Structure 1
Amino acid sequence: MKALFIGGTGTISSAITKQLVESGCELYLLNRGTRNADLPAGVHSIKADINNEAQVAELIADLSFDVVADFIAFKPEQLERDYRLFKGKTKQFMFISSASAYQTPFSDYRITEGTPLSNPYWEYSRNKIACEEYLTKQYREQGFPITIVRPSHTYDERSIPLGVHGNNGSWQVARRMLENKPVIIHGDGTSLWTMTHNSDFAKGFIGLMGNIHAIGESIHITSDESVTWNQIYEIIADALGVKLNAVHVASEFLAASSKYDFRGGLLGDKANSVVFDNAKLKRLVPEFAATTRLDQGIKQTVAHILANPEHQKVDEEFDLWCDKVVNALAAAEKALAE
């Protein structure tokens, strides 16, 4: 198989890249080259900014592919560019959308690919929906061979997956745990969530590559494991070897903050209970199984981050914001008790 990835070094795509190279795929990555230092041997690099359409068209003029996948497209105009670049050059075009595009709030906590797409809380999700609509139109009217993939919360060894964190990632929350500071959990922590290790996501994605039954289809790829947010934070604290000091804060209260955009990330996504039905993926890729249990994956992630200081990005601004929220709640409780 000959494939081209636009991106290829992110949380989701890096595991796919690694597994494809190990399987002998002829893989090209088209990106700016800023994160290519750790690429496995055998990957062909096309160094370019995908937004420079003329340059990319020139670089791929003599190339064609079995699969082209865009991991970094977020708006319809970026897919319009991809269509111009790759029409007639690929047997399958794969777009990475998002499970946050599904109906929010949900009419049923069980999510299938037939769940309506609608998210009034998050512009990111609405843009992904618009991207899907554009590609579906090209498939129906022009025969452009699309496959739409919807990941949910996918993680790797470089960042601890969380519900509430600042702009510098998740390390500051882990640091608060290590310092026995209160850690914010949105809501009462009992809503169900699904987290998928990127190595498991890669198995499902690779099974869809070159799969004639996936053309024209939309498929989500997630673990079958459901956990509460309380369990998630307890797992993280356990991996760090500390006792969790949790403070539960209403998602609506957090979303009212002008400091961080929790309206989209919480009300439009993580504050809702979701259980994914992966039956469609398993029909298309019968061998698929997510085998990394969350507690096992989190332990691997925490160990990697503790051993690699470059992943420990301090976020003092977020730390102070957490203290402010916790103190505001404590003051409110005191006032009610008087």
Structure 2
Amino acid sequence: MTRVVVIGGSGHVGTYLVPRLVAAGYDVVNVSRGNREPYQPNAAWASVESVVLDRDAAEQAGTFGDAIRDLEPDIVVDMICFRLDSAKHLVEALRGRVRHFIHTGTIWVHGPSVAVPTPETEPRRPFGEYGIQKAAIEAYLMEEAQREGFPATVLHPGHIVGPGWPPLNPEGHFDTDVFSRLAQGHEILIPNLGMETVHHVHADDVADLFMAAIANWSTSVGEAFHAVSPQAVTLRGYAEAVAAWFGQPLNVRYLPWDAWKAERPEGDAQKTWDHIAHSPNCSMAKAERLLGFRPRYSSFEAVYEALAWLIDNGVVETAKR
């Protein structure tokens, strides 16, 4: 039986990926820092081996890669690698020992959008530590795959959405009160003209793309793929769609960036700036061409499912205050 080790498997994507792997007949090991439950229950977790391992502490001790290697994986899926030195440490331990290594990247390796939809071949112009490190990891893994034969694939998710956690909202941050205000017909504030874009993806679609990469080993090794919905959405269009779900007209005030950020907490403003400065709009043509993969969820369908969960659990309030 093929053995798959998922590092960070109880997170957003792992919640859906691990049950898919079990259903496909793989022997699955979930490596996590603690015993956090997945976001959605599934009986498949009963057959998953769980290993508790603090990555940061183990990397500092120089033992993390050896610990993963000693689990004797055929396939390693790394959900939580954010630094180049961390990726190098793991690759050196697994070199010659695994059949497939799949790294979770981010569409932010692209930096600001230029010509859209952006293909994977677009030159990398990342900004911010997160995007810069992820781009460096991608470049390293592709070099290792293409020159040294290390069997690496990189998947670049957009803004991951699913039941159990707040989605990126139409103001470009994560405060769920924005959804409550839209549901109740209250005013929200959107920076500029609301024409910047965000690109969601349902966590289950990301999980399904991991499965497609595994199933199509010969065409996925040495390649990077976007993992997004079929279309990005503008902040304005996103807000209008959410308001319409509740039978409300769009009640929005547009403010220049400096005026907008003065109305919001610093943390929210920074998150919004990161999103609108990137304004991602990525193509899924490569995944369809090489892996036969098409996402099931549109951006709005993915957000709708996540929002329904927030309402059912009392996080978003639909009754007017």
- The 5-angstrom pairing of residues 170-249 of structure 1 reads 170-178=175-183, 180-210=185-215, 211-240=217-246, 242-249=248-255
Q: Which runs of 5 or more structure 1 residues have no equivalent in the other structure?
A: 314-338
Matches within 5 A, 1:1-338: 1-36=2-37, 38=41, 40-51=45-56, 52-53=58-59, 56=64, 59-60=67-68, 62-104=70-112, 106-120=113-127, 122-158=128-164, 159-164=166-171, 169-178=174-183, 180-210=185-215, 211-240=217-246, 242-251=248-257, 254=260, 259-260=266-267, 262=269, 265-271=271-277, 273-286=279-292, 288-309=293-314
The residue that corresponds to 1:331 in the other structure is none
Give the Cα–Cα distance (whole angstroms) in 1 for the partners of residues 85 and 243 of structure 2: 42
Instruction: Confirm or deny: 8 A CA contact 1:11 1:198 kept in the other structure.
Output: yes
Q: Are the equivalent residues in 2 in contact too, given 1:187–1:271 (CA < 8 A)?
A: no
Structure 2 Cα separation of the partners of residues 203 and 73 of structure 1: 20
Which amino acid is the alignment partner of residue 6 of structure 1?
I
Note closer, same or farther for the CA distance 1:207–1:252 as it changes in structure 2 (3 Å cut): farther
Q: Which amino acid aligns with 1:70?
A: D
- TM-score, normalising length from structure 1? 0.79
- Provide, for residues 89-108 of structure 1, a one-character-per-residue CA deviation record: whole Å limited to 9, x for no partner: 3111111111111142x331
User: What amino acid sits opposite 1:235 in the alignment?
Assistant: A
**CA–CA distance in structure 2, aligned partners of residues 13 and 304 of structure 1:** 18
Q: Secondary structure at the match of 2:34?
A: coil
Measure the CA separation in 2 of the matches of 1:277 and 1:178: 31
TM-score, length of structure 2 as denominator length: 0.83
Letter in 1 for 2:124: L
Can you list the C-alpha shifts for 1:116-159, whole angstroms capped at 9, x where unaligned? Answer: 11123x22111111222332343345332211111112211122
Structure 1 residues 165 and 128: CA distance shift in structure 2, 3 A: same
Cα deviation, residue 55, structure 1: 5.5
Q: Unaligned stretches of 5+ in structure 2?
A: none
**Rg larger for:** 1
Amino acid at match of 1:100: W
- Cα distance in 1 for residues equivalent to 2:146 and 2:29: 28
**TM-superposition CA deviations, 1:236-278 (whole Å, max 9, x none):** 2334554442122334655688823745x44554355543222
Cα distance change of structure 1 residues 164 and 73 upon mapping to structure 2, 3 Å threshold: farther
Paired residues of 1:30 and 1:50 also in contact (CA < 8 A) = no
| CA RMSD of superposed structures (Å) | 2.9
Q: Distance in 2 between matches of 1:283 and 1:66?
A: 26
Contact 1:63/1:89, CA 8 A, preserved across alignment = no
CA contact (8 A) 1:173 1:183 kept: yes
Question: Partners of 1:48 and 1:9 in 2: how far apart?
Answer: 13
Structure 2 CA distance for aligned equivalents of residues 164 and 297 of structure 1: 17
Percent same amino acid among aligned pairs?
23
